[in-house]
Amino acid sequence: MPHGDLKPTEAPGTNRLVFLTGVVTTSTSGTIDESDCDGFDVVLTDSEAGRYTITLHNKFYSLRYGHAAVELSADTAAVQAKGVVAAIRNVDVAPTVASGDSPTLDLQFTVTPTSGGAGADADVEDGAVIRIFLCMSRGKI
């Protein structure tokens, strides 16, 4: 019978993937009211509309996949001027992150793009819930 403290064997040549999840609730103008995140912290980036900086608690080889969704209040239309489309940017998570620095990436929200142009950066709706999923790689063994 295996001992509970022993790490399972990982097959050579496979990626060691780690899934990180979090839920952030906003108050006004995108300000974070509550957060419940496993493996990372989220702060509003004051200098940019609709941007949040995610700081990982551990270093990883790469970001394999990142996604965020805005949960709006029940049965109400999304406010046209508020951010609902999420994008990941400024990914700095590789092992080459300078000694003492924490790996980071940005989560950017924009309004829904119009037929003729790009969506503008915008804060999410007041009281919105942001659900975050990150798939990180520790590299191959």
Average model confidence (pLDDT) across the chain: 83
C-alpha span between 103 and 95 (Å, rounded)? 9
pLDDT at 25: 94
Distance (Å) of CA 17 to CA 10, 69, 118, 135, 136 = 11, 21, 33, 7, 6
Q: Is the pLDDT of residue 125 over 80?
A: yes
One-letter amino acid for residue 3 of the chain: H
pTM exceeds 0.85, yes or no: no
How much is the average pLDDT of 53-81? 86
pLDDT at 113: 72
Residue 1: pLDDT band (50, 70, 90) is very low
Query: pLDDT tens for residues 9-21?
Result: 555 666 688 999 9
